[in-house]
Amino acid sequence: MRRFNRFYTRTIGVLGDGIQRTQYTLTEARLLWELAQADQAETVELRQRLGLDAGYVSRIFARFEGDGLVRLERSTVDARRQVVSLTPAGRRAFKTLSDNAVEDMGALLGKLGETDQRRLLAAMSTIERLWDGPVADDRVVIRAPLPGDLGWVVQRHGELYADEYQWNDEFEALIAGIVADFVKARKPGRDAAWIAQIGDAPAGCVFCVAEDDVTARLRLLLVEPWARGRGVGARLVGECVEFARRNGYQKMVLWTNAELHAARNLYEKAGFELVSEERGESFGRPQVFQNWSLTLVK
């Protein structure tokens, strides 16, 4: 982690005296950014939010005020508190910082192809989400797979089921075969796949494949742990069922495991009914597999 931090600060150039080709330090630039997000802010709240020393912030604001960048006043709500706001000159200084940052980040991204750009942004979203919760743009988007997504489907199934259920690599091999068969046999209007995305990161997936002329099969439903409880699974199942209904299938079936309680709850809510169970030894463990069915044409 320390090696990565050294690499990243060197890459984006925050170790020099100024940032984004201005005279401002990283801390000063961050304070300008925070002030630009609102008409005014309380100095105490701003300092606490950023975890900065009171004396340090006071010196920065005193210099900013001397340069004509900020206006320091007493709060009209509580005279004991001080508020700070950007002057027109301060907003111009922030715009210069912002424009330079966009240019610099664009140049960095421009060194990568489109696929690697998506990989980079997804990795950044993952880091942010693991330490700080949901990303700012937390909308759930359901889309068709992009290049690299099918490999992600295989990888995350293998990793997630090993972590949560201790299934071995036989399961990952099964998923790889299902994905490969999907690519080789898919037909427009008969087979489809969807990726759920939150921010820049894939959050889940589901596939619909033809079982026969009148029956569709729901396969490979997965929701990332960090995305659970946000309706991702229900939207993926709904997308799959509606695709099958819209394209003339009369029935949809699926195969799952009795351990997957959250998935089974989603299937029940979507109208699926348990048809049969089968016990056996698979993926390194005793299993109870289940077959479910949903009538699409009443």
Under the banding of pLDDT at 50, 70 and 90, the label for residue 247 is very high
What residues does each domain of the chain span? 2-111, 140-295
How many Cβ atoms are within 10 Å of 193's Cβ, its own excluded?
22
Query: Average pLDDT over the chain, rounded to whole?
Result: 91
Name the phi and psi angles at 188, rounded to 5.
Answer: -55, 135
Reported residue count of the chain is: 298
pLDDT attached to residue 20: 60
Q: How far apart are CA 113 and CA 79, in angstroms?
A: 54
- pLDDT tens track for 49-108: 889 998 999 999 999 999 999 999 998 888 788 899 999 999 999 999 899 888 888 888
Residue 18: pLDDT above 60?
no
pTM: 0.68
Structure tokens given for 147: 């290049």
* Alpha carbon separation from 195 to 215, 224, 267 (Å, rounded): 22, 11, 18
Among positive and negative, which fits the CA dihedral 82, 86, 89, 90?
positive
User: Strands 251-257 and 215-223: what pairing?
Assistant: parallel
CATH fold of 2-111: Arc Repressor Mutant, subunit A (1.10.10)
Residue 17: pLDDT above 60?
no
Query: What is the arithmetic mean of pLDDT over 197-209?
Result: 92
Closest-CA residue to 230 (of 176, 278, 266, 179):
266
- Cα dihedral 258→228→294→290 (10° resolution): -10
CATH superfamily ID and name for 140-295: Gcn5-related N-acetyltransferase (GNAT) (3.40.630.30)
Under the banding of pLDDT at 50, 70 and 90, the label for residue 15 is low
